[in-house]
Amino acid sequence: MKALVVLALSSLCATAMADEIPTDVASKTAPVEQYTYSSHPDIQKVISMSETPDVCEVVPARMVYEDSQGVRHTMEYRVMGNGCSHG
């Protein structure tokens, strides 16, 4: 009986500790900025850009860049997919 209680408490503690880990990681990641036509981002260096899928519709894309202060940003914007025929 004592073994069951210990097992139940240890699993509860492990679950509580697992809940704390994503919170720490989430606080260290920068929020995703949404691009608008009125945005004037300070882009000094592009780190990466997401690939545009082969679909014929507007899709979200992301760009990771550094500004002139060396701070890394992630910006989400909308692009037309590469799957449209040109004829």
Q: What pLDDT is attached to residue 85?
A: 78
Top mean-pLDDT range of 9-18, 27-36, 66-75: 66-75
Q: What is the pLDDT of residues 49-67, one digit of tens each?
A: 999 999 999 999 999 999 9
Q: What pLDDT is attached to residue 4?
A: 56
The domains of the chain, with CATH numbers, are 2-80 (2.30.140.50)
Using a cut of 0.85, tell me whether the model's pTM lies above it. Answer: no
Which pLDDT band holds residue 68 (cuts at 50, 70, 90)?
very high
pLDDT at 69 over 90: yes
Q: What is the pLDDT of residues 6-19, one digit of tens each?
A: 555 666 555 455 54
Average pLDDT over residues 9-37: 63
53-57 CB contacts, 8 Å cutoff, 24+ apart: 53/81, 53/82, 53/83, 54/81, 54/82, 54/83, 55/81, 55/82, 55/83, 56/81, 56/83, 56/84, 56/85, 57/81
